Structure 1
């Protein structure tokens, strides 16, 4: 893998190929101010996103396992082609367990207002193996661009193309583990008055009553048809994590709390206090692609100081 294979940069933004301790290929993006993002080719998973002051914004479990094929518990695993359990496809799909490749010649993206020069970015590609096609018999190309802007914002753009001769449908979620000071000190705004499916109550449908979402027990919900902006206020760290999304109508909110934490082998007993998953997703209404059609979903994460 070389500097120019599917990675673009200017003089000031750097793209560094590297490997983890198990020999898994990774790419580190750095911007001129010193912010960074680390992406593993195992799962196309962002494992780290740091500010220019070196603060880590993503959570990784204290008991995370970094050995394929298991996805790492933390960072941003990608759930595709399904969310949850369905049929013969493994829970949350197979994309997060596969080795992706650097996309050396990605087709151009439509220009976007927040796209500017000075981004360090890498393009990854996933195509189904023979094994995948036995489980989920649909040919696709999943292109993922991860970019780090000069302002430190992290953007993930997914493009999924149907190269089948028949339509297929899929669900997708960017399962983002945010690092927080304390779960009882944070609140989410942007989900007010929305309907949600509660996975702790057999996916029963409820309506959010609060002005902001706060946490005092296990939460596992899919909020439906949300606005394109969600904010996580972390009072203790005096910062707000902003999620902007396009093509991803739903938002998953998850914290396992005490009891469930103890039942997960790759999750520390106390880890739930320092993490919160808030995912941009398309779950309630799966996306259907006709032959040759392409879907694009975009997630942009930023952090701003707050009181």
Structure 2
């Protein structure tokens, strides 16, 4: 097992198959590459900033303590910019923790957090520790533990903002979301998903709420399962593709045709805030696995 620490990143690869690897930037603890037997599984914009000057467009950015921009102006996260400060902060690399699966950890606390942004969260009075674990085998496992190390409760969102690489978005479907409650951010309304399979031929931005944990979300390309997404402690999923117009409006989204080759399926807890009392901890995790059979866990004939 190989763990290489560089000044700005950590590269983890398997001794049994060095072409299976994961690369994590220290800035944002952002996974910017996951290769399985040499094949890249994640999409990263060719214009993404990898020098710590801004959050990475692509890979797996980490969203904490707020998803989007908080609309309730009285909430402690209201002054924070979109998606909080975890992706804007340089995390501490803690090293390797287990051999099988090969796992490394990163940590973030107020000492490492981007001070200009962190102080906007409850006037910088919330004390916390984030422990982020990335486990590599024939799967990729990511887990976050949020601990309240202070004397007052705080609210937070968590989201793994994953960009998957696909060959052609118009050939892609996502299954097992039928009959789930969702908020369409384009229509700004709640409804129940009725499509037997979610497909993509225009801008798509929906938040699916309280998906049963036993459901495996699958990204499928012409009958082949690209990804199986299994979740623990993460009841919500954001499904997003910017399509043509929005891609053109994002300076760090390149090539502009890149929307054809990416799909975000993001596991998290974002429709409601998690309230964490002093001394308590919360954990959420996800596991990605390539291939296997198509699982139909929704009543697609409803």
Write out aligned runs for 1:70-149 (5 A).
Answer: 70-86=54-70, 87-103=78-94, 118-129=100-111, 130-136=115-121, 137=124, 138-149=126-137
What is the aligned partner in structure 1 of residue 13 from structure 2? 30
Would the alpha carbon gap of residues 244 and 190 (structure 1) be closer, same or farther in structure 2, given more than 3 Å must change? same
Deviation at 1:105, TM superposition (A): 9.6
Deviation at 1:104, TM superposition (A): 5.6
What is the aligned partner in structure 1 of residue 297 from structure 2? none
1:69/1:98 contact within 8 Å kept: no
Q: Secondary structure at the match of 2:170?
A: helix
Write out aligned runs for 1:156-195 (5 A).
Answer: 156-195=142-181
- TM-score by length of structure 2 reads 0.87
From 50, 54, 59, the counterpart of 2:35: 50
**Unaligned segments of structure 1, at least 5 residues:** 1-12, 20-24, 107-115
CA distance in 2, matches of 1:221, 1:258: 17
2:96/2:104 contact within 8 Å kept: no
Q: Deviations over 1:25-62 (max 9, x none)?
A: 2111112223100011100111100011x100000112
Deviation at 1:219, TM superposition (A): 0.5
Q: Deviations over 1:223-282 (max 9, x none)?
A: 01113321000228x442011111110000000000110000000210100000000010
1:218/1:257 contact within 8 Å kept: yes
- TM-score by length of structure 1 reads 0.86
Are 1:209 and 2:194 matched, yes or no? Answer: yes
Are 1:246 and 2:229 matched, yes or no? Answer: no
Which stretch shows the higher mean deviation, 86-95 or 274-283?
86-95
What is the aligned partner in structure 2 of residue 16 from structure 1? 4
Which stretch shows the higher mean deviation, 26-35 or 54-63?
26-35
Q: Secondary structure at the match of 2:198?
A: coil
Q: Secondary structure at the match of 2:244?
A: helix
